[in-house]
Amino acid sequence: MAIETNRLSQEDYLELFSDLHPPFEHDEGAMIEANRCINCFDAPCTKLCPAKIDVPHFIKQISSGNIKGSARTIFSSNVMGAGCSKVCPVEKLCEGACVFNLLKEEPIQIAKLQRYSSERAMKEQWRLFERKASTGKKVAVVGAGPAGLACAHALALEGIDVDIYEKEEKAGGLMTYGIAAYKVTPEFCRDEVDFIISIGGIEIHLNKELGKDISLAELREQYSAVFLGIGVGMTRKLGIPGEELEGVVDAISFIYDLRANGYSAVPVGDRVAVIGMGMTAIDAATQSKRLGAKEVTMIYRRSRKEKPCTEAQLKVALLDGCSIIWLASPEEIIGENGHVKRLICHKMKLGWPDPAGRRVAVETGETFALEVDMVIKATGQIPYEALLNGSSIRNRGGKIVIGGCAETNIPGVFAGGDAVNGGKEVVDAVQAGKYGAEAILAYLTSL
Amino acid sequence: MANLQSAFLGIKSPNPFWLASGPPTDKKINVLRAFEAGWGGVVWKTLGTQVKNVSSRYSSLNFTGRKIAGFNNIELISDRPLEINLQEIREVMRLFPDRAMVVSLMADNDRVSWHELVKRVQDNGAHGLELNFGCPHGMVERGMGATVGQDPDIARMIVEWVMEVAVLPVITKLTPNVHSVVPVGKAVVEAGSHGLSLINTIQSVTGIDLDTLIPNPNVGGHSAFGGYCGPAVKPIALKFITTLAQDEATCRTPISGIGGITTWKDAVEFILLGAGNVQICTAAMLGGFRIIRDLCDGMNNWMDEKGYSTIDDFRGLSVPHLTRWEELDLNFHVVADISQDKCIHCGLCYITCEDTSHQAISKEDGFPYNTYKIKEEECVGCNLCKIVCPVDGCIAMKEQRKGAEYLNWKEFQERGLPLSDH
């Protein structure tokens, strides 16, 4: 058993990491699908879209041959509409609500149609929006992730000049750093950011970290308003013995390495355990398998019914040959010469529902051991509690508390996205960024 | 198994489906292929003074992702030598003696030309003649085709010329480019035409290329009005044949129904409105001759289910159900009923009724599915919701008569009954 890089041939890597959901190969395909949509009124797909994209409208624009209008419809509600068409868990959002499901027919392929128009707009560099003349007002946005970019774009449109401060060396946030390689490529993420800021009035300052290179006090002094779209940090610690062993990795950094360093350079074990059952866990498990791991076992403390990922995502992992152990929780990682050798787990059972209605997992007292050489932690990310506690921003366990749309307790400071909700979908962050911009515009008018 | 045999004007064919005069019946190789596929008969493409055709002849109308709701052509009558056509007709008739061979004719507008053409074709051999008074493009500018079919006096005169020499059954093909086909239909029947066929194509512009701004079909930068046909024209054709079936002077004249017939259902509808057989061109041009299989099979199965053993058993049965508006029963009233079990909450009934009809559907917001219900007191029974509903049988129109007795508009006025107050 060993953790190794370079397990497969280049051809195999390319095939295994090619698009999970390929685009329409021909315009005709998009047309046929667009015409299948019956153009619902007060459409359920739009209602379930966190960014409230007018789905039937953009689809009918495709069918009328107005692709440019279709792209504008998408981007005016979701400036990351292209990326979201690849990463949204549509089976529980728009496509899950499609009325065709009620006829037991395949829902309209909304994501694929959204990708059709939005990617074309990016590829052909369509200028879809004209920003208003500069008002001279300046706003700082912290974090160049989906929330920050959406907020900046909406503000720039209204003639506000925006400076974005980003701690990483690339913009895009979790879209760039935290999503499996068979969904979006680094090139796509770069192009998407470029497309968003192409309206002008937005400057991104990379490698500038809040609390280190810049302070909230400075920003408040230099700008009319500040939006915090700082997201969440690294994966939550398991808090069990053996977590420091070599071979225990964080899912987010594992996925990031895969995208930043190339497939062959990322080490992966023979027998990998992935802890968690969210989208990131699924991504980590499937990517491990596709990198050449012989066995990948996903471990989740509750049952299939309570899993945070969707059934469609779970199926991707199962089809990739990952095994699942439901009702199991890690207790200890045993090492040998400093390397992971075995994972000891508690067998769990379901207890009473928690306040959110999900039944909690409780230990049965029984344990079992799993021979593994790599453990990937994907148990949710932790908010920047220390950073926030160092400021006067009201927060709850590191999650910023907002009132109204996006207002924090400090006048002129707004927040949204994962930093507020603790970690949801990209599209939720985009919507939060839009709310932030709305609140900031109202605030600037009131000054 | 029902009997699909047909004897239109005594011309026998194994089924009531003839290929209409047009590109599919232009030459021997096409017609042989059609007969091999099973078509009951053909109307050979119009013979007359040989013409020259342009290149780029067809265009079409697409609709919401479906190709070819309507089709259009600017092709003229046969551009091949008369002698070759006649020879090929002889050969085809020898190879397929059981199929109907009718020849379409369009001579120059003088008595001698018509006499010569009719005689040559009769001497050559055919089961019948069809006079092309319908072609709406090209020949019109030369005073032929639809120009003849638009003027009862000219049409009568030509049919009289033809009947002076005709020994075969004569069908006159009418143009729909008129406000009514009845005057011309009457005139040609009075002049001796044994049967009528309709409709020919409708003058049209199918569309314009929005890059070049040149209408379709583009013939070197220009286009010309074409003849419109295909599924989109069926309702117009059905209306026209009904007017002939309802007129005292023409109701006993056999009608060959033409116009957008694509499936056996369309064909059945033509026959229900009085057609003795049907002719098809566009559907074959778009799908090939193999479509004859389902045309026959579908009609056969329907006839078996309905208990009809021959075409004549159901011919014209729907004609009495088409009456004048004045005779419709104003006490008949229906209201829509939405089956909540079948509803998929698309909201199409609601938005169309709310925006363009009578605000007779209520919406109860839900997440993500709204509930839609009929407000019976507001519903006028217009059918719009049922038409737009994507689920068959989800919206039913329930009868709720306003009064027990039959009440037409005339009686309504005579009794001084109140009109709507809102």
CATH code where residue B367 lies: 3.30.70.20
| DSSP 8-state code for residue B167 | -
- Supply the range of the domain harboring residue A63: 21-123
**Which two tokens mark A282?**
């699924």
Nearest-neighbour CA in chain B from A416: distance (Å): 24
**A38 with B390: Cβ contact below 8 A:** yes
Helices and strands (DSSP H and E) totals, chain A: 18, 15
3-class state of residue B397 by DSSP: strand
Express each pLDDT in A287-344 by its tens digit.
Answer: 999 999 999 999 999 999 999 999 999 999 999 999 999 999 999 999 999 999 999 9
Q: Do A390 and A373 share a structural domain?
A: no
Kindly indicate the confidence band of residue A1, based on its pLDDT and cuts at 50, 70 and 90.
low
B299 sits in which H/E element: helix B292-306
Q: Do A352 and A256 share a structural domain?
A: yes
Q: Do B188 and B301 share a structural domain?
A: yes
Alpha carbons B165 and B211: distance in angstroms, whole number:
53
**B369 with A39: Cβ contact below 8 A:** no
Query: What type of residue sits at position B93?
Result: M
Q: Do A279 and A365 share a structural domain?
A: yes
**Does the pLDDT at position B355 exceed 90?**
yes
The terminus-to-terminus CA distance of chain A in angstroms comes to 64
Q: Do B76 and B167 share a structural domain?
A: yes
Q: CA torsion A201→A207→A208→A209, rounded to 10°?
A: 130
Q: Do A373 and A393 share a structural domain?
A: no
**Does the pLDDT at position B385 exceed 70?**
yes
Query: Which residues, 6 or more positions from B154, have their beta carbon under 8 angstroms from its beta carbon?
Result: B109, B147, B148
Mean pLDDT of chain A: 94
> Tell me, what's the ipTM?
0.90
The residue behind tokens 């551009």 is: B79
Nearest-neighbour CA in chain A from B66: distance (Å): 9
Q: Which residues of B393-405 are buried (b: 16+ CB within 10 A; e: fewer)?
A: ebbebeeeeeeee
The residue behind tokens 């006048």 is: A411
Alpha carbons A211 and A233: distance in angstroms, whole number:
14
Q: Do B338 and B250 share a structural domain?
A: no
Alpha carbons A278 and A300: distance in angstroms, whole number:
9
Q: Which of B344, B349, B351, B365 to mutate to test the interface with A (most CBs of A within 10 A)?
A: B344
> Where does a domain end: B305, B321, B337?
B321
Alpha carbons A231 and A252: distance in angstroms, whole number:
13
Residue B401 lies in a domain: yes
Q: What CATH number does residue B306 fall under?
A: 3.20.20.70
Neighbours of A311 (CB within 10 A): 12
- Phi, psi (degrees; rounded to nearest 5) at B301: -65, -40
Q: Do B354 and B233 share a structural domain?
A: no
> Where does a domain end: B296, B321, B346?
B321
CB pairs under 8 A between A and B: 47
Kindly list the distances between the CA atom of residue B15 and the CA atoms of A160, B104, B290, in Å, as whole numbers in the listed order: 76, 20, 14
Residue B263 lies in a domain: yes
Nearest-neighbour CA in chain B from A241: distance (Å): 46
Q: Do B314 and B333 share a structural domain?
A: no
**Which residue out of B135, B349, B379, B389 is catalytically annotated?**
B135
Q: Does the N-terminal peptide bond of residue B217 adopt cis geometry, omega within 30 degrees of 0?
A: yes
Q: Which residues of B36-72 are buried (b: 16+ CB within 10 A; e: fewer)?
A: eebbbbbbbbbbbeebeeeeeebbbbeeeeeebbbbb
pLDDT value at residue A245: 96
Alpha carbons B353 and B159: distance in angstroms, whole number:
51
Q: For chain A, what is the domain count?
A: 3
Q: Could you tell me what percent of chain A has a pLDDT over 90?
A: 81
Q: Do B259 and B123 share a structural domain?
A: yes
pLDDT value at residue A391: 84
Strand pairing report for B334-338 and B275-280: unpaired
**Does the pLDDT at position B1 exceed 90?**
no
Q: Which residues of A316-333 are buried (b: 16+ CB within 10 A; e: fewer)?
A: bbeebebebebbbbbbbb
Residue B422 lies in a domain: no
Nearest-neighbour CA in chain B from A308: distance (Å): 21
Alpha carbons B164 and B162: distance in angstroms, whole number:
5
Residue A11 lies in a domain: no
- Phi, psi (degrees; rounded to nearest 5) at B317: -65, -20
Q: Do A257 and A364 share a structural domain?
A: yes
Alpha carbons B40 and B292: distance in angstroms, whole number:
9
Q: Do A352 and A310 share a structural domain?
A: yes
Burial classification of residue A373, based on how many CB atoms lie within 10 Å of its CB (0-12 exposed, 13-18 middle, 19 or more buried): buried
**Does the pLDDT at position A233 exceed 90?**
no
- Supply the range of the domain harboring residue B374: 325-414
Alpha carbons B273 and B241: distance in angstroms, whole number:
7
- pLDDT mean over B82-109: 97
Q: For chain B, what is the domain count?
A: 2
Residue in chain A nearest B366 by alpha carbon = A44
| DSSP 8-state code for residue A4 | B
**Does the pLDDT at position A368 exceed 80?**
yes
Residue B37 lies in a domain: yes
Residue A365 lies in a domain: yes
> Where does a domain end: A100, A123, A146?
A123
3-class state of residue A342 by DSSP: strand
If we measure between CA atoms, which residue out of B261, B177, B228 comes closest to residue B72?
B228
Residue B193 lies in a domain: yes
Residue B381 lies in a domain: yes
Q: Do A99 and A164 share a structural domain?
A: no
> Where does a domain end: B266, B294, B321?
B321
Q: Do B230 and B125 share a structural domain?
A: yes
Query: What type of residue sits at position B3?
Result: N
**Which two tokens mark A385?**
């509690």
Express each pLDDT in A96-151 by its tens digit.
Answer: 999 999 999 999 999 999 999 999 999 999 999 999 999 999 999 999 999 999 99
- Tell me which chain B residues have a C-beta less than 8 angstroms from the C-beta of A40: 345-348
Residue B116 lies in a domain: yes
Alpha carbons A400 and A238: distance in angstroms, whole number:
23
Residue in chain A nearest B346 by alpha carbon = A40
Q: Which of A29-43, A177-191, B390-404 has the lowest mean pLDDT?
A: A177-191
Q: Do A415 and A351 share a structural domain?
A: no
**B65 with A31: Cβ contact below 8 A:** yes
pLDDT value at residue B164: 98
Q: Do A419 and A369 share a structural domain?
A: no
Residue A193 lies in a domain: yes
Query: Which residues, 6 or more positions from A277, have their beta carbon under 8 angstroms from its beta carbon?
Result: A298, A300, A302, A307, A308, A309, A314, A324
**B346 with A99: Cβ contact below 8 A:** yes
3-class state of residue B170 by DSSP: strand
pLDDT value at residue A18: 83
Alpha carbons B390 and B308: distance in angstroms, whole number:
32
Express each pLDDT in A47-61 by its tens digit.
Answer: 999 999 999 999 999
Q: Do B206 and B96 share a structural domain?
A: yes
Residue A15 lies in a domain: no
Alpha carbons A1 and A381: distance in angstroms, whole number:
29
pLDDT value at residue A177: 86
Q: Do B358 and B252 share a structural domain?
A: no
Give the nearest partner residue to B65 out of A43, A47, A63, using CB atoms: A63
**Which two tokens mark A29?**
């395909």
> Where does a domain end: A361, A377, A393?
A377
**B346 with A47: Cβ contact below 8 A:** no
DSSP assignment of B19-47, as one string? EPSSGGGSSHHHHHHHHHHT--EEEEEEE
Q: Is B135 a catalytic residue?
A: yes
Residue B421 lies in a domain: no
3-class state of residue A52 by DSSP: coil
Whether B11 and B309 have beta carbons less than 8 Å apart is answered as no
Whether A281 and A307 have beta carbons less than 8 Å apart is answered as no
Q: Do B286 and B272 share a structural domain?
A: yes
**Does the pLDDT at position B145 exceed 70?**
yes
Q: Do B233 and B121 share a structural domain?
A: yes
Q: Do B122 and B76 share a structural domain?
A: yes
Q: Do A396 and A360 share a structural domain?
A: no
Residue A318 lies in a domain: yes
Q: What CATH number does residue A276 fall under?
A: 3.50.50.60
**B347 with A48: Cβ contact below 8 A:** no
Query: What type of residue sits at position A235?
Result: T
Q: Do A110 and A79 share a structural domain?
A: yes
Q: Do A364 and A252 share a structural domain?
A: yes
Kindly indicate the confidence band of residue A12, based on its pLDDT and cuts at 50, 70 and 90.
confident
pLDDT value at residue A186: 85
- pLDDT mean over A69-92: 97
Kindly list the distances between the CA atom of residue A95 and the CA atoms of A87, A88, A90, A101, in Å, as whole numbers in the listed order: 13, 10, 5, 8
Give the nearest partner residue to A63 out of B64, B347, B370, using CB atoms: B64
**Which is more confident, A348 or A383?**
A348
**Which is more confident, A236 or B377?**
B377
> Where does a domain end: A377, A399, A424?
A377
Alpha carbons A377 and B47: distance in angstroms, whole number:
83
